[in-house]
């Protein structure tokens, strides 16, 4: 792990936040080294007789890994360079292109330290998925459900990491019917390439449950889902031509410009293609 400190934005911060949260901190998991992360790091350093400077270097990383040992042994789940090379060859894509999408969608990692797949739960999709199943979401709206059930998109309820699985479980438990479980799973994006659960059937999975079970297996299954998504939605030419804006629009939706997905993809590609 490289040395990181306040105000940097890098995938290593995601791992840092996960590790600190496993030790009892309560951070939003993202790739941004915020003031809250800085304060948590300094607190951690003070408690573990380290230099209290907020800089996460070799000594801080070593202590974090030591204390998180029970969470970090999941190497059998990860993609290898050869896996990505084989995928790139199969779909006639540059390896740098595949790596770029992987980095931007999930910071290059499809699993949390706990071994659960990385997800992001979308409460506005949950609203729509309940309606598809003949369930009126308004009947379940109250002060306790505002973080998992809402009509319009917002990122204010995102917490990242394990917290997204807590939100998913909360959504599942709004009703006793299997429809609530399926609607909730359909409303999360899963794994390295953040494929939404509602794509399961169109991508050829036998059910949403079949898709979710495979997302728990390893990152190779995430890569397989990505390949299915590219093929089913005819997105391969946009990646081959490095048409980042059109790929981002079709992959991430109309709001891609606000989140600068096209710019992020282009920058990541430039980095990996060197």
Question: How high is the pLDDT of residue 274?
Answer: 86
Over range 153-169, report the average pLDDT: 94
Instruction: Calculate ∠ Cα 123-204-166, nearest 5°.
Output: 30
Q: What is the pLDDT of residue 41?
A: 98
Largest CA distance in the chain: 57
Q: Could you please report the per-residue DSSP string of 104-144?
A: HHHTT--B-TTSPBPEEE-HHHHHHHHHHTT--GGGG-STT
Please state the φ and ψ torsions of residue 196, each to the nearest 5 degrees: -65, 140
pLDDT band at 261; cut points 50, 70, 90? very high
- 9 φ, ψ to 5°? -130, 110
Segment (H or E) for 189: strand 188-190
What's the CA gap between 83 and 268, in Å, rounded? Answer: 19
User: pLDDT tens digits, residue range 42-93?
Assistant: 999 999 999 999 999 999 999 999 998 877 666 678 898 999 999 999 999 9
Which residue stretches of 158-207 are H helix?
Answer: 162-172, 178-186
Contact 9, 149 (CB under 8 A): no
Tokens at 137, concatenated? 């979401």
b (16+ CB within 10 A) / e for 226-262: bbbbbeeeebeebbeebebeebbbebbeeebeeeebb
- For the chain, give every domain's residue range: 12-71
Give CA–CA dist 186/199, Å, rounded. 8
| CATH hierarchy code of domain 12-71 | 1.10.101
How far apart CA 154 and CA 14 sit, in angstroms, is 21
Q: How far is 193 from 118, CA to CA, in rounded Å?
A: 10
pLDDT classification of 224: cutoffs 50, 70, 90: very high
**pLDDT over 80 at 238, yes or no:** yes
**Res. 167 pLDDT band, cuts 50 70 90:** very high
Calculate the dihedral angle through the C-alpha atoms of 125, 129, 132, 133, rounding to the nearest 10 degrees: -160
3-state percent helix, strand, coil for the chain, nearest multiple of 5:
55, 5, 40
Q: How many residues does the chain have?
A: 274
Indicate the pTM of the whole model.
0.80
């Amino acid at each position: 792990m490289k040395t990181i400190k306040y105000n940097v934005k890098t995938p290593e911060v995601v791992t840092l936040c996960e590790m600190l949260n496993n030790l009892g901190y309560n951070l939003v998991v993202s790739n941004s080294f915020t003031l809250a992360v800085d304060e948590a790091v300094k607190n951690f350093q003070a408690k573990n007789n380290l230099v209290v400077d907020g800089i996460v270097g070799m000594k801080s990383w070593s202590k974090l890994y030591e204390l998180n040992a029970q969470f970090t042994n999941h190497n059998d789940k990860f993609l290898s360079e050869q896996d990505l090379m084989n995928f790139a060859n199969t779909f006639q894509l540059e390896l740098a292109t595949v790596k770029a999408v992987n980095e931007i969608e999930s910071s290059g990692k499809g699993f949390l330290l706990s071994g659960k797949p990385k997800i992001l739960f979308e409460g506005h999709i949950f609203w729509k998925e309940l309606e598809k199943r003949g369930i009126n979401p308004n009947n379940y709206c109250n002060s306790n459900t505002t973080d998992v059930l809402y009509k319009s998109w917002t990122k204010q309820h995102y917490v990242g990491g394990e917290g997204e699985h807590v939100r998913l479980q909360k959504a599942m438990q709004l009703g006793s019917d299997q429809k609530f479980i399926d609607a909730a799973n359909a409303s999360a994006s899963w794994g390295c390439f953040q494929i939404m659960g509602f794509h399961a059937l169109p991508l050829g999975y036998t059910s949403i449950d079949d898709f979710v079970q495979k997302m728990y297996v390893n990152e190779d299954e995430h890569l397989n889902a990505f390949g299915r998504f590219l093929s089913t939605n005819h997105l391969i030419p946009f990646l081959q031509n490095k048409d980042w804006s059109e790929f981002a629009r079709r992959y991430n939706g109309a709001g891609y410009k606000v989140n600068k997905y096209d710019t992020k993809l282009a920058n990541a590609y430039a980095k990996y293609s060197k």
